[in-house]
């Protein structure tokens, strides 16, 4: 469940619970006035318990890397920037940055949420946030949830809410059954009311608890920003965005049926503290702002096209490096590789050590069927990459494959393997590595690599099929054969 954006108890994940509870309420009132009430009460108890079992699911965090529910975006440039944003905040919170991952979700809404040790960040939030400080404010809030152990305590609150709701339902069912047995319609109606109200009490109690945790995370975020010498202005700007959106939409929300404090309440609670910060007027460094703008325009180009890129910047900024970067990407995507290459080369004159410009240059050259030149561009990108990300190593391997030369194909196996060693969940890389193994004639490793790709995609059945095929071509007892056996023995719940 998202813990940054406003979630009402009958919207998003809560909507399923609201509908299900409504069905239970109807059954309570109908059965309370029927004959043979003891049998009906037993059936109702079973259905009520089933509905309450669904309660933790309705309020549970979204599963990490759920392949069908969470479309993940992978990009070396954006991930490097997000790590740079998060690193000082995590340190201020006493968390190891190596143990916390920021994951990009392909969604145009402004949202972020935490599950496990991952902070999921919508691409829409990155595109809408005009400054690094706005994104950092959101990251600080989500870090507050991680450092505060809010997820673990939420699970305890869910169990408590279940117990309250079940106890109240069963009490109401008993009263309704007693009323039916004695012919006392008033008592039966009272029992129905008790059973009907119990889940609502539990839900409101849970949402109240979540609102208190959100307030705690807000205060923690201000503290982290103060410790790292950063302004809380961007965080307040985000809340103002939410408040303005609700006002323009004419939304009237019951504050007791949402999981977060109302935006205006949050602004009021934090504004005085935030403005007391000695860093309130501190601006983001120009270099960081440029990286942020280049990230935004890149997302706009790949997800929304030329129009979004042109609308993003006005005035002098429309002629700046970020706008030109977006124009180069759009030119490439619209099938004009020569013109795109000229635009990237012009950008490289002012940013010769930008690894991601060399990466884009390599992508353009691959599309132009200039594999050797593409490999050289990617080699340069890898050498300049301070993060040593696996994604660029995989891209380098792909470029080597594109050259088609036997020596380059062998080198591609090395580069792709190294990239996947650093980033095991980059599923696309397994397809290229399997292709490279196939081109070298190593069919057993090609099939094992395909099995690995299916495994990390969550397709365990297909992974086992290819692992079994790989074993017939691998030496029994060798490390690859053992890995294939591990996949064959894997159970889906253990992934």
Among candidates 460, 457, 453, which has minimal Cα distance to 491?
Answer: 460
Higher pLDDT, 270 or 14: 270
Q: Residue 446 to residues 129, 321, 410, 454, 480: CA-CA distances in angstroms?
A: 43, 42, 13, 13, 11
| Residue 261 in this model has a pLDDT that exceeds 70 | no
Do residues 150 and 184 touch, judged by C-beta distance below 8 A? no
pTM across the whole model: 0.73
Dump pLDDT digits (tens) for 143-196: 998 886 545 544 454 454 444 444 444 444 443 444 455 554 554 444 444 444
Dump pLDDT digits (tens) for 108-120: 988 888 888 889 9
Q: What is the 3-class SS of 411-425, one letter each residue?
A: HHHHHHHHHHHHCCC
Q: From edge to edge, which strands make up the β-sheet containing 118-122?
A: 72-73, 101-105, 118-122, 112-115
Q: How high is the pLDDT of residue 164?
A: 41
Q: How high is the pLDDT of residue 314?
A: 85
Do residues 415 and 397 touch, judged by C-beta distance below 8 A? yes
Higher pLDDT, 394 or 240: 394
Q: How high is the pLDDT of residue 316?
A: 83
Whole-number Å distance between alpha carbons of 403 and 410 = 12
Dump pLDDT digits (tens) for 196-248: 444 454 444 434 435 566 778 888 999 999 999 999 999 888 878 765 543 33
Pair of tokens at residue 398: 């792909």
Cα 102 to the center of its chain, rounded Å: 8
| Residue 387 in this model has a pLDDT that exceeds 70 | yes
Do residues 105 and 112 touch, judged by C-beta distance below 8 A? no
What's the Rg (C-alpha) of the chain? 28
| Residue 6 in this model has a pLDDT that exceeds 80 | no
Contacts of 232 (CB under 8 A, 6+ apart): 137, 221, 222, 225, 226, 270, 273, 274, 277, 279, 280
Give the highest mean pLDDT range of 1-15, 204-218, 310-324.
310-324
Whole-number Å distance between alpha carbons of 153 and 381 = 44
| Residue 364 in this model has a pLDDT that exceeds 70 | yes
Q: 160-174, 220-234, 280-294, 442-456: which has the minimum mean pLDDT?
A: 160-174
Strand boundaries in 112-266, DSSP class E: 112-115, 118-122
């Amino acid at each position: 469940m998202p813990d940054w954006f406003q979630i009402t108890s009958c919207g998003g994940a809560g909507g399923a619970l609201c509908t299900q509870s409504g069905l239970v309420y109807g059954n309570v009132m109908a059965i309370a006035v029927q004959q043979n009430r003891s049998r009906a009460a037993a059936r109702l108890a079973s259905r009520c318990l089933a509905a309450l079992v669904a309660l933790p699911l309705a309020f549970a965090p979204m599963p990490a890397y759920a392949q069908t529910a969470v479309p993940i975006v992978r990009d070396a440039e954006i991930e490097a920037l997000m790590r740079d944003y998060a690193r000082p905040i995590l340190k201020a919170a006493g968390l190891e940055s190596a143990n916390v991952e920021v994951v990009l979700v392909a969604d145009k809404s402004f949202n972020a949420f935490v599950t496990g040790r991952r902070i999921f960040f919508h691409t829409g939030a990155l595109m809408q946030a005009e400054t690094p400080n706005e994104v950092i404010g959101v990251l600080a809030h989500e870090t507050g949830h991680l450092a505060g152990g809010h997820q673990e305590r939420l699970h305890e609150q869910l169990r408590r809410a279940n117990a309250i709701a079940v106890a109240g339902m069963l009490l109401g069912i008993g009263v309704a059954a007693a009323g039916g047995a004695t012919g006392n319609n008033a008592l039966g109606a009272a029992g129905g009311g008790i059973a009907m109200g119990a889940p609502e009490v539990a839900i409101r109690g849970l949402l109240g608890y979540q609102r208190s945790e959100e307030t705690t995370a807000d205060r923690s975020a201000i503290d982290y920003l103060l410790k790292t010498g950063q302004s809380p202005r961007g965080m307040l700007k985000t809340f103002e965005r939410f408040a303005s959106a609700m006002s323009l939409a004419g939304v009237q929300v019951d504050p007791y049926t949402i999981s977060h404090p109302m935006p205006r309440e949050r602004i009021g609670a934090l504004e005085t503290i935030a403005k007391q910060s000695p860093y309130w007027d501190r601006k983001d460094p120009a270099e960081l702002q440029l990286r942020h703008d280049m990230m935004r325009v890149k997302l706009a180009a790949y997800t929304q096209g030329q129009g979004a890129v042109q609308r993003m910047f006005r005035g002098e900024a429309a002629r700046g490096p970020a706008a030109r970067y977006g124009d180069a990407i759009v030119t490439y995507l619209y099938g004009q590789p020569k013109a795109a290459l000229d635009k990237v080369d012009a950008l490289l004159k002012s940013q010769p050590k930008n690894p991601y410009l060399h990466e884009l240059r390599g992508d353009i050259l691959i599309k132009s069927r200039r594999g050797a030149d593409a490999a050289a561009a990617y080699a340069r990108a890898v050498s300049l990459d301070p993060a040593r990300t696996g994604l660029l190593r995989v891209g380098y391997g792909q470029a080597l494959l594109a050259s088609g030369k036997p020596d380059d194909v062998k080198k591609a196996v090395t580069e792709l393997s190294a990239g996947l060693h650093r980033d095991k969940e980059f599923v696309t890389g397994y397809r290229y590595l399997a292709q490279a193994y196939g081109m070298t004639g190593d069919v057993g490793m090609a099939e094992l690599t395909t099995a690995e790709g299916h495994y990390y995609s969550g397709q365990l059945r297909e992974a086992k099929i290819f692992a079994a095929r790989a074993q017939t071509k691998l030496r029994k007892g060798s490390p690859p054969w053992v890995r294939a056996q591990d996949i064959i023995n894997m159970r889906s719940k253990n992934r």
